[in-house]
């Protein structure tokens, strides 16, 4: 919604930050807690969900019911609630529940606002580290233990100098895994299993590429908003819109995006 006023945009950012604050409390209450268990959402593989996932989304929905009752909601744990405003809040209460269960500080809370065209503002929050990455409405910043600073993606460089992140081979088909390995063989460094924090690192100018498959809208809409606001690009593997999930290619700039997409295409 490009016609949103400055005051309306500021209000959306303020609500997003309140959502992140209540999610921090809910997730940190159980993080590294003795006896934390998880159910699995799929019979044929371990797709965990914890009490923290459910509490985090429930607390965020309570805020939205109070402050933005006219907006829709799409949440990983509680599904879709229709609204009347043309805006939808897309919530992933814990992105990286496997990491959360393992005690690693690379999971995060994903919050975004989308209109009919896709995400217009997004936030990646890492409660344990205390880092928050925000992007949208012409601004991109991170604030945390080192203070607040603008976000800006890396300048172009060759694939042979690139740093690539992914969750492969944990996700994706054999064909998708083979395409990823082709790309991995051409970059300088490949790292694995960082979940949403990898996308934050693109926006922060630390890495060049993230390649994923099998994603849902709530996995990717906040990262899209943050990365694009920081000067990067996120599409599917064919260069089309990725806000509905599926195969995702996130890149620090259009040049390295094009080079990676050519390799993925074979």
List pLDDT tens digits, range 194-214.
999 999 999 999 999 999 999
Residue 189, in any domain of the structure: yes
Residue 105, in any domain of the structure: yes
Closest CA to 21 of 65, 66, 60, 78: 60
Residue 83, in any domain of the structure: yes
What residues make up the domain containing 59? 6-150
Q: Helices (H) and strands (E) in the chain — how many of each?
A: 7, 15
CATH number of the domain bearing residue 213: 3.40.190.80
Strand partners, 91: 75, 111
- Please state the rounded mean pLDDT for residues 206-227: 97
Residue 252, in any domain of the structure: yes
**pLDDT confidence of residue 48:** 81
84 DSSP assignment: S
Residue 1, in any domain of the structure: no
- Please state the rounded mean pLDDT for residues 6-14: 97
Q: Assess whether pLDDT exceeds 90 at residue 43.
A: no
Choose one of 95, 124, 150: the last residue of a domain.
Answer: 150
**pLDDT confidence of residue 1:** 47
- Per-residue model confidence as pLDDT tens digits over 167-204: 877 678 889 999 999 999 999 999 998 999 999 999 99
In terms of Cβ atoms closer than 10 Å to its own Cβ (0-12, 13-18, 19+), residue 15 is buried
Q: What would the DSSP string read from start to end of 231-265?
A: T-EEE-TTSS--TT-EEEEEESSHHHHHHHHHHHT
**pLDDT confidence of residue 117:** 95
Q: Which two tokens stand for residue 174?
A: 């054999």
**pLDDT confidence of residue 39:** 82
Report angle CA 220, 193, 119 to the nearest 5 degrees: 10
Q: How many domains are there within the chain?
A: 2
- Per-residue model confidence as pLDDT tens digits over 98-121: 999 999 999 999 999 999 999 999
Residues 105 and 67 in one domain: yes
**pLDDT confidence of residue 2:** 59
Tell me if 232 sits within 8 A of 252, measured CB to CB: yes
Q: Which residue has the tokens 């580290």?
A: 129
- Banded pLDDT at 42 (limits 50, 70, 90): low
pTM of the model as a whole:
0.95
For residue 72, what are the contacts with CB-CB under 8 A and spacing of at least 6?
80, 81, 82, 83, 85, 87, 88, 89
In terms of Cβ atoms closer than 10 Å to its own Cβ (0-12, 13-18, 19+), residue 78 is middle
- Per-residue model confidence as pLDDT tens digits over 129-173: 999 999 999 999 999 999 999 999 999 999 999 999 998 776 788
Residues 200 and 128 in one domain: no
């Amino acid at each position: 919604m490009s016609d949103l006023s400055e005051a309306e945009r500021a209000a959306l950012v303020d609500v997003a930050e309140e959502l992140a604050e209540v999610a921090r409390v809910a997730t940190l209450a159980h993080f590294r807690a003795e006896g934390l268990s998880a159910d699995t959402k799929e019979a044929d593989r371990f797709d965990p969900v914890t009490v923290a996932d459910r509490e985090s989304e429930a607390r965020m929905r309570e805020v939205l019911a109070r402050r933005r009752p006219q907006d829709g909601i799409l949440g990983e744990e509680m599904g879709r609630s229709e609204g009347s405003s043309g805006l939808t809040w897309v919530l992933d209460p814990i992105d990286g529940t496997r990491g959360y269960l393992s005690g690693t500080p690379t999971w995060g809370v994903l919050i975004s606002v989308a209109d009919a065209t896709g995400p217009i503002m997004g936030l990646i929050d890492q409660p344990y580290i205390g880092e928050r990455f925000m992007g949208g409405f012409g601004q991109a910043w991170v604030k945390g233990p080192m203070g607040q600073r603008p976000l800006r993606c890396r300048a172009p460089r060759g694939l042979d100098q690139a740093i690539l992140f992914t969750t492969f081979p944990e996700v994706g088909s054999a064909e998708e895994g083979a395409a990823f390995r082709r790309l991995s063989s051409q970059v300088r460094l490949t790292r694995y299993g960082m979940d949403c924090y990898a996308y934050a690192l693109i926006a922060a100018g630390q890495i060049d590429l993230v390649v994923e498959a099998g994603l849902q809208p709530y996995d990717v809409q906040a990262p899209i908003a943050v990365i694009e606001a920081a000067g990067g690009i996120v599409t599917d593997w064919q260069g089309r819109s990725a806000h509905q999930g599926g195969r995702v290619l996130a890149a620090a700039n259009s040049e390295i995006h094009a080079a990676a997409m050519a390799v993925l295409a074979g």
